[in-house]
Chain A
Amino acid sequence: MDPRQRPLLHRRLGVFKGLAWSLVALLVLIYAWLQIVRHGEFKQLAMQQAVKIRPIAAPRGLVLDRNGYRLVDNRRALHLVIQREDLPTRPEVVQSLAQALELDPAGLMRKIQSYRLAGKGRPLVLKENLDDVGIAQAERVRARFPFLSVDVAPRRVYLGDELAGHVLGYVGEVDEPMMKANPDVFRLGETIGKEGFEASGNDKLKGVDGQKRILVDQLGTEVAHFGQTDAVAGHSLYLTLDAGLQKVMQDAYGEEAGAAVVLDLRDGGILAMYSSPSYDPNLFLNRLSQEMVDRYLNNPARPMINRAIQGIYAPGSTFKLLVALAGLEKGVITPQTVIYCAGKKNFYGRDFRCDKPTGHGGLNLVQAIAQSCDVYFYEVASRLDVDDIYATAEKYGLTERTGIDLPREKRTRIPSRAWKRKAVPKDPKWYAGETISVGIGQGAVGVTPIGLARFYATLATRGKVLTPHLFYGFRSDQTNQLEPAPPPGTKETPLDPRLWAVLDEGLYEVVQSGTAAANPFIREIAREAPFVGKTGTAQVATFVDKSHYARQAKHLKDHALFAGYAPHDKPQIAFAVVVENAGFGSTAAAPIAAKLVKYWFVDRVKNPIPPPRGRMVDPFAPPAEAAE
């Protein structure tokens, strides 16, 4: 080496050495900043991604009928989910995930966004109730999107299928509007009752979710598990429903539309409630397919409506008992009052016709009820004001909702002057002629089957206005036996025993000698299990000539009704039966009532119907198969 150069080189290398140590010092400073100054923040982040809190879904309570038979059960099902902390953010990821799972990308993005905004909650369910093919697909997709996981969760099974669809309802994921309205009550992704008793009994059934703390690796796989709060299972509940009676009712309706209710006169418990066409709640646990939407939501027969509490029907002649009661209590008639029926009668310049064109002749009240003479009740109505009829209806609870423990019950419609002012503001005046139609349960009168059944229960109990209900009691955790809950309150409205006796006799004669007696089937059952009741045939449209009746389109036919109670001497049950567009009450509705009475009082003991088993043998069966 050139000796002149060496000192210069040494000086420069000294600078290099200084630079090298400066570099080391700089790196030390960077690490001090991360590891000492910002240590807490990064420690937190490391914890957050490795330690996860996973909710443990509380098993929902079972629903049993009054005999302890299972109506709603829980089974194990597998779902493809994304845990809340692992929701993807990038649109490309969501897009390709949606493609891989054959989901709508925009919908998935929306769902993910709403999940991100919410607080703690259950995982986002992408595919529910996986079958073998679904599990295989899920595993394939999971290889590409490691943030997916397969969750085991209990799934509801409605053992009776269509047996009590409207009564039981179904469960689903809490929807956004509901959650926004009650942010403290519901959590995102939570399963709640959507319809029927699942909805109204949700608080009792749902239980309290638990949670566990787990250590996960980068793929979200559980590596270790420390500490958990166990879920508290929801209560299992008994309903007042009798599955056997419900089955009789379902079979009796067959293809006919309508609704029927049977009440227990002791406490107002609902022994059976059926709305036809019914639906299978099992199908509503999955995402709705187009086929399902067409079959249920777009069906003109409107199977999703619970006609028993939401159907408003003209009561027809079944309303005559209330008119009679109003007349008796107001004193415009007595049990002995005889009115002459000539087949029609003129009121206010217009002819009102009786069902029997040749006329019934002279009739007292019992005979008028038995024969369902329209002219008799036109006359009673003409002696009353519409507000008198309304006042009686109000007194016996017919103007209010019954307060049944099911969501969205409709109110019956009993017209009054005040009602017309509000309902028909264009023509607010009440015309006396309108009262005549109300006299036979036509015109503006509309009742729900449950309301009608309760009115007949009031007649049967001589003035008790019961509160119909489905909740019977809790199943004890210790003994697995029923712990009956106190039934909801009853309003006592004493009915004059002399007046009651007349009405009771009239209802007895309907079945023994009156409008319902022509049917031999009814007479036969009435001998075995004496029941009483009133037929009703409510006009859907007015016909010029009744001989054309049979040729009329089905949807223009009258609604058939039958309401009553049984047994005659010491009533235990009351019922109302409505069959839509079926014609006469005596031929279409009364036989259904007779079958109910026969099962309840005769076959239930001798030859009971076995508890529902459910069609679904394989809980993983896809919904299409389950439906057929």
Chain B
Amino acid sequence: MKDRVRALDSRLLWVILALMALGTLTLYSAGRNTPQATIWLKQTVWNLMGLALMLLLANTNPRRVLRYSFPAYLLGLAALAAVLVVGKKIGGATRWFVVAGQTFQPSELMKWVTLLYVSQRLGSRPADAIGRLELLGAVGLVAFPMLLVQRQPDLGMALSFLPILLIIPLMKGLRARWVVALLLLVTVGGFAAWKVALKPYQKQRVMIFLDPSSDLQGKGYQVNQSRIAIGSGGLIGKGFTSGSQTQLNFLPVKTTDFAFSVWAEERGFLGVLLALGLFGLLLGRILDAAKAAHTTAEAYFCAGAAGIFALHLLVNVGMVAGALPNKGMVLPFFSAGGSSTLSFFLALGLIMGILYRSKVK
């Protein structure tokens, strides 16, 4: 056992354990005096299972895992297709399998499987040897599960596949004119969409994003309450389990999408600084793993994983502050949920494995 634990990268492990602690405290406070009072315990169970999974993968040669990426990808596609047919419908979306009373969201795992498979494909040969057609094929490999996820529909989850494409600039570099062309496309496309394609209710959604206070009882309500929670927390926060927005239930969905608002309200800006610093260290360490990786495919996987973690961080932490549209995207270690927790630990386990291999040679 001691040998096995040695496979874990201590710097990454401490960051993970610290973030886990923060998240557990947040969930304890968010669940107090609600029907979800024990959610912090449930999440601890998921976390422990995640740690075990991580330990297992850290001791597994990444190459063995990469070898199974293609069948895993096919299996994932099948699962995404199946969930559309036999999945459980909750709140207008069909995203979940129900197994033995537990819901499981295949798209959470599929994102990592896709990353694994694309890394494996693009990393198998030198970067110069890969042509444009093959790059386009890789984009297709990402786009196909994205479309399936969007059918559920789950735009937030579909978008979280996008960081996989970061592998391409990592391989080929980024040219200034590409960036300009992309920005132009987004601007012109966005303008055209606003003028022609968007329906009034969709425009309204955009307007509510731009000014959440314009619809306080509808969509804007959640974000508005979240901003009040964060802002009223101030520099040092209202104290653990003493946030009025959290404890009096003004803050919505506070154990999942808005968990970070709970932390920000009760621990204040200093707490936010701590949490964001830990996330920064996490991303940095994952990118260190990319540098240290033995193989290109492993490096690509780590870079893509950093991108996925970063996107979750940006979208969730930005959204609860009202800086980004209200699109559900969970925050690792803070938002409660089994599928996402296990998936994140799966990725971290692979990264641990990559780091370990690079050290032991």
Contact = CB atoms under 8 A, between A and B. Distances in A.
Interface in A23-55: 23-24, 27-28, 30-32, 34-36, 38-39, 41-43, 45-47, 49-50
A36 B273 CA distance: 12
**Interface size range of chain B in the complex:** 35 or more
Nearest to A215: B248
A1 B244 contact: no
Interface in B261-278: 264, 268-269, 272-273, 276-277
Interface centre among A10, A12, A31, A39 (most CB of B within 10 A): A31
Given A2-B296, A12-B170, A38-B231, A31 B264 contact: yes
A33 to B, nearest CB: 9
A8 B318 CA distance: 32
B284 to A, nearest CB: 6
A43 B299 contact: no
A20 B170 CA distance: 14
A21 B299 contact: no
A496 B227 CA distance: 87
Nearest to B126: A2
Interface stretch (B201-209, B309-317, B332-340): B309-317
Contacts of B296: 1-2, 5, 9
Interface in B167-217: 169-170, 173, 216-217
Contact of B235 (A5, A13, A39): A39
B228 interface: yes
A23 B310 contact: yes
A50 B249 contact: no
B61 to A, nearest CB: 16
Interface in B315-361: 317-318, 321, 323
A93 interface: yes
A175 B306 CA distance: 65
Contact of B228 (A46, A88, A93, A219): A46
Contacts of B249: 217-219
B229 A93 contact: no
Contacts of B313: 23-24, 27
Contact of B250 (A13, A49, A90): A49
Contact of B280 (A21, A50, A88): A21
A50 B173 contact: no
Contacts of B173: 8, 12
Contacts of B231: 34-35, 38-39, 41-43, 45-46
Contact of A13 (B245, B279, B290, B318): B290
B269 A5 contact: no
The 10 closest A-B CB pairs, nearest first, are A42-B231, A46-B232, A20-B283, A24-B280, A217-B248, A218-B249, A35-B269, A42-B232, A39-B234, A34-B231
Given A13-B299, A90-B218, 17 more contacts: A1-B294, A5-B127, A8-B173, A12-B169, A19-B310, A20-B283, A20-B306, A21-B283, A23-B283, A23-B314, A30-B318, A31-B273, A45-B232, A46-B229, A46-B244, A217-B250, A219-B249
Interface of A: 1-2, 5, 8-10, 12-13, 16-17, 19-21, 23-24, 27-28, 30-32, 34-36, 38-39, 41-43, 45-47, 49-50, 88-90, 93, 215-219, 223
21 contacts: A2-B126, A9-B296, A12-B170, A16-B290, A20-B306, A21-B283, A23-B313, A28-B276, A31-B230, A31-B273, A31-B321, A34-B227, A36-B235, A39-B234, A41-B231, A43-B232, A45-B231, A50-B248, A89-B216, A216-B248, A218-B248
